[in-house]
Structure 1
Amino acid sequence: MRNEWMEIFSQEGYRFCKVKPEETGVFYKYYEEGFHLVMFIDGTNGYLPVMGQLQVMQERVQELFYHPVGRLQDFPEGFPVYHVELLTILLTDQVENAKQLCAEGKNIWIYDQNSKQLMIYENQPGDFWGLKNRIEQMDVQQNRQTSAPAAAKRSIMQLPFVTGLIVIANILVYIILSFGGATEDAFYMASRGAMYPEFLTINHQWWRLLTAIFLHFGVAHLMNNMVIFCCVGSRLEKYIGHWKMAVVYFAAGIGGGLLSYIMMLLSGNYAVSGGASGAVFGVIGGLLWVVIYHRGKLEGMTTKGILIMIVLSLYFGFTSIGVDNWCHVGGMLCGFLATLILYHGKRQKY
């Protein structure tokens, strides 16, 4: 059993009882002729029971402590236990599998080992005798004790699959292009797949709406997009899943490029365009919908906060030179709509 969890329950007056399987332990605390029980399942090594197994484990633990006419070890003769309240905590990095257990079972919390966050779904108890706040305090203390370099390394290594793959792809494309010419040269970038209206209108090279997403004009352009994408992409992918994340990202990138193309045709102001910013704005738009779906608040994010970030980002773009603002607007709208269509998860309590 992990030391930080042992410390939490010990400070709250719980005692520990080892049960089978070995990944499972029970913390128990006596109160007025009854017990508060927390069955803790450490699934970080890949172990996670199926629904039937979990129900049997819960029933056996309750039977172990329910003794209205008997006695328990370490307690006086005739000690009665009339009430048993049980909570199950799943410590896991397989959140998607654990979600199914929450959907079908009762009194189950998930602790996401990757994000170090407690996840409580709408059909589960919002608290268990003050444990929710105590666990969240542990998260804050762990974050404070983690050094900045270690935290950065952990963040990079623990990026969700699709988010990490997209970041790697953008970096590799930039490195390859850097060996062939100047990435800040518009003519060079256009020759390598950036978007320019006449290539689409005359040559029908619509594939440029896709390739342009991976082309960045200089290392600063690349780094700015990837840093923001790591922050927002890792969160969105956790909520909506891998393949949906890929759909949102590319729908936003292509949609943003398409709106940029249309606005260039209407205005007559043609420019070579490229970069992942339209897709990144789409991911932010996706996060906006997820937060709205969860009644305007989710894991420290609020609808108001995301809207303020979007407004400020767009304002900065429209007051700057050389920014493809319509790509940002189109990407954000496409990302929002794509997530609205794809995401229908269970609402959570925090």
Structure 2
Amino acid sequence: MLIIALEFSTIVLKNIMRKWPMFTRFIHNAYPVFVEEGFELLSDRKEVDIFSEDVEVVRFIKRHNTILYIINFWNMLNIDFEVFTHRNNAYEKKLTEFFERLNCSHIIVLNLLITEEEMEFKNVSIFHPDQDIYSVSWIVELPTKKILVNKGDADEVLNIRQLVNKVFNIMDPSFDSEEENLRKYKDKIRRKIPLKEKSNNTALTYGIIVVNLIIWFVLELNGGSEDVNTLLLFGANEPFLVLKRDQYWRLVTSMFLHIGFSHLLYNNFALYLFGTRIERYYGKVKFILIYFTSGIIGSIASIFFSNTVSAGASGAIYGLSGALLFLAYKTRKEIDGFNTYTILVMILIGIGLGWVMPSIDNAAHLAGFLSGLFAGKLLLFPWKNRQ
């Protein structure tokens, strides 16, 4: 009998909830979700009954680090946009008066305009992250389960978007699977869209290859590319000369020298594979920065981890491969036939050979690769564009 009574009461409760306005149903499901995330209900005597059909706004508050977050759920069925604007401005003015007493660095007010009809913002917001109190407004359309962000506003505050979607899923269990399927579909389509080229030619890569070939022929005509004295004469890297004789220019000149034809062939082929793609999708300036930064750091690593004469563009080339690996991983796209997996395999094979063959300068390879990986990340997403 007890089980039957519980099932009956559950059915009755569900039927009652179905008859509630959508805002009341939304708040009824949102309350435990937000409380579980550490939010507290902020109410005065007029707003105690948050499940009332007449309620106009329900406020939650949470302190995260030094920032105070206030989430306002506005019942747009009971008020219009002008009333919301007037009351929100008054509320912000009140917060300004009490700001110093709240002991926080910033206050972010997120207004969720809960509506059962289509709504549009009537003005454009301008994001000012340096303000003490900043107000963000989103429209939450319950029938369509969409979150609309005002142009110029922040599109994410804490993990509120995720929490609202969680509430949607509680109200309609099919929403989560639809949202996930839509995300997977968009991701699949995004992967098929080719990357935007930053350069319509790869002249720099071919230019460096030509320079490498010319210098190699010059070495062959002046004692041979495998002769130590010839290599040193033309600028090979050597710890004593760099550190004790201050010949730092060797860190750069050694990048254009190659020891033997097989070394020349392997490096230039690798330069063609990675260099053309970096130049095309990062652009010429960033290509030069990645190439020479990685090459110089590779030469420096060679000095401290090797006591022999060294030469070659391997550090720079591994830097290009590191930047390309980051680009493929971040965009999850194939870059002219290369994806994250193929690039990583090529890099691991090259580094693996370095441990087996003693003549390969693995210190330069690893230093160049890590430099290129970091440079690729930094140049793909400059700090000035981050929030």
TM-score for both structures, normalised by structure 1? 0.51
Counterpart Cα distance in 1 of 2:288 and 2:203: 10
Aligned residues: 191
CA shift, 1:126, in A, is 4.4
| Equivalent residue number for residue 198 of structure 1 | 240
Q: What stretches of structure 2 of length at least 5 have no aligned partner?
A: 1-185, 194-199, 383-387
Q: Return the letter of the residue paired with 2:327.
A: V
Counterpart Cα distance in 1 of 2:227 and 2:315: 20
- Is contact 2:326–2:376 with CA below 8 Å preserved after alignment? yes
| Equivalent residue number for residue 346 of structure 2 | 309
| Equivalent residue number for residue 310 of structure 2 | 273
Query: Does 2:285 align with 1:243?
Result: yes
CA shift, 1:296, in A, is 6.1
CA shift, 1:273, in A, is 0.2
Q: Return the letter of the residue paired with 1:295.
A: R
Give the number of the structure whose alpha-carbon radius of gyration is greater: 2
Query: Does 2:331 align with 1:294?
Result: yes
Query: Does 2:203 align with 1:161?
Result: yes
215, 228, 235: which one aligns with 1:173: 215
- Is contact 2:277–2:335 with CA below 8 Å preserved after alignment? no
Matches within 5 A, 1:106-145: 126=189
- Is contact 2:201–2:280 with CA below 8 Å preserved after alignment? no
- Is contact 2:277–2:336 with CA below 8 Å preserved after alignment? no
Matches within 5 A, 1:178-189: 178-189=220-231
Q: Return the letter of the residue paired with 2:367.
A: G
- Secondary structure of 1:205 counterpart: coil
Counterpart Cα distance in 1 of 2:201 and 2:272: 7
Task: Provide, for residues 231-285 of structure 1, a one-character-per-residue CA deviation record: whole Å limited to 9, x for no partner.
Answer: 1111111110011101111111111111111223xxxxx1000011111111111
| Equivalent residue number for residue 252 of structure 1 | 294
Identity of aligned residues (%): 33
- Secondary structure of 1:301 counterpart: coil
Query: Does 2:378 align with 1:341?
Result: yes
Deviating more after overlay: 175-184 vs 238-247: 175-184
| Equivalent residue number for residue 318 of structure 1 | 355
CA shift, 1:342, in A, is 1.0
When the two chains are superposed, the root-mean-square deviation of aligned CA atoms in Å is 2.7
Q: With CA pairs under 8 Å and 6+ residues apart, which has the higher RCO, 1 or 2?
A: 1
Are the structure 2 counterparts of residues 271 and 257 from structure 1 closer, same or farther at C-alpha, using a change threshold of 3 Å? Answer: same
- Secondary structure of 2:359 counterpart: coil
Q: Return the letter of the residue paired with 1:204.
A: D
Are the structure 2 counterparts of residues 217 and 295 from structure 1 closer, same or farther at C-alpha, using a change threshold of 3 Å? Answer: same
- Is contact 1:159–1:230 with CA below 8 Å preserved after alignment? no
Q: Return the letter of the residue paired with 1:316.
A: L
| Equivalent residue number for residue 66 of structure 2 | none
Task: Provide, for residues 108-132 of structure 1, a one-character-per-residue CA deviation record: whole Å limited to 9, x for no partner.
Answer: xxxxxxxxxxxxxxx9x949xxxx8
CA shift, 1:297, in A, is 4.8
Counterpart Cα distance in 1 of 2:246 and 2:259: 24
199, 215, 220: which one aligns with 2:262: 220
- Is contact 2:219–2:230 with CA below 8 Å preserved after alignment? no
Are the structure 2 counterparts of residues 201 and 288 from structure 1 closer, same or farther at C-alpha, using a change threshold of 3 Å? Answer: same
Q: Which runs of 4+ in 1 moved over 4 A?
A: 296-299
TM-score for both structures, normalised by structure 2? 0.46
Task: Provide, for residues 101-152 of structure 1, a one-character-per-residue CA deviation record: whole Å limited to 9, x for no partner.
Answer: xxxxxxxxxxxxxxxxxxxxxx9x949xxxx89xxxxxxxxxxxxxxxxxxx
- Secondary structure of 1:213 counterpart: helix
